[in-house]
């Protein structure tokens, strides 16, 4: 059994000088130090091929934190933080090198957490190296980053490899969206408020939109991204995770097992999209050159290292349907893309129209109520509704009004907590509910694979170009207008 309290840990980071460690993990760990969340005796051990001693590692860590943390480093915090840092020179392909790590770990009796911030092709060597030297035994934990494979088959392969050495209860699969404050709040919003709880189904909801829009392009990651595309990079994980949290039934309690079970039911109930309905259910696009925030940006195929004939999608829009009693007839429209007009993520719940209109004299058509949940930035919840315009007019005149709640507008934490901060802390506490289980990853691939295969097979679903700085290809609008609906406008 994994002990679920904040205990002294040895956090071993494989990929110590990689991008993820520098940009996200180290700054987040420093912030946890600053907020005194790390156990007094916890150590952080960078592991990698660099020929560094611990002093050299410490100076790399300081530079990384200075570069990627948007605040001054405080001497007293740094002093404590740097005293936790160690470096272990290890080539994961050399089985015997793991004995060096063992030696460091044996100095203490801390719970060990291995964080694999490495490319997928080195994962198996790490699992095996740890297993062969008995470094895998409970209560050790292991944290895996996405992507876990590029399809169901490859994902199963990784899961089978790791399961030779680690139990599912030891494995923490990261989807960093699950560490975001606004995503966690969805559970509170849905299950702590009777109004939402009772109106969250196909009796009252017309449709749901989920948008994750990015301004960035591929940020120099051509090789990675061209193999993945936006579908594997964003939809398979982040968008499907949001969808499952929005659609899942109430779990019996807020434990990992119960939440994961309910999310899994949704993934299993997703209607299949394949070559038969690919053109009506999906749109894919690729960014052309354009202007973002007044700056000219290149087309996808002009990015550094690009293959000019690439058909990889940087934009996806999908109409997803959940085939269960609660959601039958309620489409979930998902869209995500790179180099779009603004960076923001939002869920829009659009309610059904009222069956009879009492106000026909002034309003021929009633608008629909909307609940707009802004996940990022400026996290907020807005509710659109109708009001009578005050006055002595004989007729009722209506106006559309808005109730708005800003998530960080109060004496609670002023700044949003970085997702990695929360997830690192949860892994140190040994709590798995914010991590994705094997079945979820595989079920998501089971739904995604036929879509990607259908794109490959179906000539008429060729990729559509969109100008950078816009909202994607025109046909993304058609996906909704065909159903007499429109994307909620960004504002």
Positions touching ligand BG6 (CB under 6 A) are 214, 216, 233
What is the phi/psi pair of residue 436, to 5°? -100, 135
Q: Closest CB to ligand BG6 among 139 and 298?
A: 298
C-alpha 116/C-alpha 9 separation (Å) is 16
Residue 228: CB minimum distance to ligand BG6, A:
8
Question: Is residue 270 classed exposed, middle or buried when 0-12, 13-18 and 19+ CB atoms within 10 A define those classes?
Answer: buried
Smallest distance from the beta carbon of 317 to ligand BG6, in angstroms? 17
Query: 450: which residues sit within 8 A by CB, 6+ positions away?
Result: 272, 273, 274, 275
For residue 227, what is the enclosing H or E element? helix 222-230
Which one is catalytic: 97, 176, 207, 238?
238
Rounded least distance, CB 359 to ligand BG6, Å: 41
Which DSSP string do the residues of 248-289 spell out, in sequence order? Answer: PPPPSSSSHHHHHHHHHHHHHHBPP--TTTHHHHEEEEEEEE
Residues 6 or more apart whose CB falls under 8 angstroms from that of 262 comprise 244, 248, 249, 250, 251
**Cβ at position 48, least distance to ligand BG6 in Å:** 21
Instruction: Tell me the C-alpha distance between 456 and 449, whole Å.
Output: 11
* CB-based closest residue to ligand BG6: 233
State in angstroms the smallest separation of the CB of 299 from ligand BG6.
17
CA–CA gap between residue 289 and residue 298 (Å, rounded)? 4
- Cα separation of 116 and 12, whole Å? 8
Q: Which is nearer to ligand BG6, 214 or 226 (by Cβ)?
A: 214
Q: Return d(Cα 90, Cα 100) in angstroms, integer.
A: 7
- Please confirm, yes or no, whether 238 is among the known catalytic residues: yes
- Reading the block at residue 308, the tokens are 């000019």
Cβ proximity to ligand BG6: between 158 and 205 the closer is: 158
Beta bridge partners of 398: 388
**CB nearer ligand BG6, residue 23 or residue 363:** 23
Q: Are 373 and 232 in contact (CB under 8 A)?
A: no
Residue that has been written with the tokens 């065909």 in this structure: 482
User: Cα dist. 407→88, 278, 349 in Å?
Assistant: 42, 38, 18
Alpha-carbon distance of 377 to 305, in angstroms, equals 31
The smaller minimum CB distance to ligand BG6, of residues 233 and 313, is found at 233
> Using CA atoms, how far apart are residues 171 and 334, in angstroms rounded to an integer?
29
Q: Rank residues 322 and 441 by Cβ distance to ligand BG6 and give the closer one.
A: 441
How many angstroms separate the Cα of 62 from the Cα of each of 56, 155, 242, 382? 10, 35, 35, 41
CB of 231 to ligand BG6, least distance (A): 12
d(CA 376, CA 157): 34
Nearer to ligand BG6, 329 or 377 (CB): 377
Tokens of 370: 């909307």
Query: Looking at beta carbons only, is 97 or 339 nearer to ligand BG6?
Result: 339
Q: Of 446, 10, 440, nearest to 256 (Cα)?
A: 440
Interatomic CA distance for residues 258 and 263, integer angstroms: 9
* Residue nearer to ligand BG6 on the CB measure, 233 or 449: 233
Q: Find tokens 């949704």 and name the residue.
A: 266
Q: Enter the DSSP assignment of 102.
A: H
CA 460-462-467 angle, to 5 degrees, is 135
Catalytic residues: 238
């Amino acid at each position: 059994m994994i002990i679920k309290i904040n205990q002294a840990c040895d956090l071993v980071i494989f990929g110590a000088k990689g991008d993820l460690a520098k940009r996200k993990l180290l700054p987040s760990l420093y912030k946890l130090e600053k907020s005194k969340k790390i156990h007094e005796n916890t150590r952080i051990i960078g592991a990698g091929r660099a020929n560094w001693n611990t002093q050299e590692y410490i100076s790399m860590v300081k530079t990384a934190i200075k570069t990627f943390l948007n605040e001054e480093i405080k001497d007293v915090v740094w002093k404590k933080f740097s005293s936790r840092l160690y470096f272990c020179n290890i080539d994961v392909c050399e089985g015997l090198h793991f004995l060096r790590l063992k030696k460091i770990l044996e100095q203490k009796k801390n719970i060990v957490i291995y964080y694999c911030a490495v490319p997928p092709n080195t994962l198996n060597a790490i699992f095996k190296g740890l297993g062969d030297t008995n470094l895998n035994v409970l209560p050790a934990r292991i944290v895996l980053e996405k992507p876990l494979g590029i399809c169901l088959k490859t994902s199963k392969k990784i899961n089978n490899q790791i399961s030779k050495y680690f139990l599912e209860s030891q494995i923490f699969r990261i989807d960093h969206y699950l560490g975001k404050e606004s995503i966690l709040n969805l559970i509170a919003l849905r299950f702590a408020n009777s109004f939402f709880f009772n109106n969250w189904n196909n009796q009252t909801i017309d449709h749901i939109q989920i948008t994750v829009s990015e301004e960035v392009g591929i940020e120099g990651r051509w090789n990675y991204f061209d193999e993945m595309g936006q579908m594997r990079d964003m939809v398979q994980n982040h968008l499907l995770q949001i969808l499952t949290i929005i659609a899942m039934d109430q779990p019996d309690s807020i434990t990992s097992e119960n939440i994961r079970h309910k999310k899994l039911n949704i993934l299993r109930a997703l209607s299949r999209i394949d070559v038969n309905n690919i053109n009506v259910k999906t749109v894919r696009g690729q960014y052309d050159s354009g202007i973002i925030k007044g700056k000219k940006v290149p087309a996808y195929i002009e990015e550094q290292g690009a293959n000019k004939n690439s058909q990889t999608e940087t934009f996806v829009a999908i109409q997803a349907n959940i085939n269960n009693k609660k959601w039958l007839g309620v489409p979930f429209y998902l869209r995500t893309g790179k180099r779009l007009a603004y960076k923001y993520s939002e869920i829009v719940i659009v309610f059904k129209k009222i069956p009879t209109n009492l106000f026909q004299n002034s309003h021929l058509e009633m608008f629909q109520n909307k609940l707009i949940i802004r996940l990022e930035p400026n996290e907020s919840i807005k509710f659109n509704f109708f009001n009578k315009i005050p006055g002595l007019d004989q007729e009722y005149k209506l106006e559309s009004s808005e109730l708005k709640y800003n998530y960080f507008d109060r004496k609670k934490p002023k700044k949003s907590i970085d997702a990695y901060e929360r997830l690192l802390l949860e892994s140190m506490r040994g709590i798995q509910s914010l991590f994705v289980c094997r079945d979820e990853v595989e079920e998501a691939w089971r739904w995604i694979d036929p879509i990607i295969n259908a794109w490959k097979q179906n000539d008429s679903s060729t990729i559509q170009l969109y100008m950078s700085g816009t909202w994607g290809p025109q046909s993304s609008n058609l996906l909704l207008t065909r159903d007499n609906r429109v994307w909620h406008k960004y504002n």
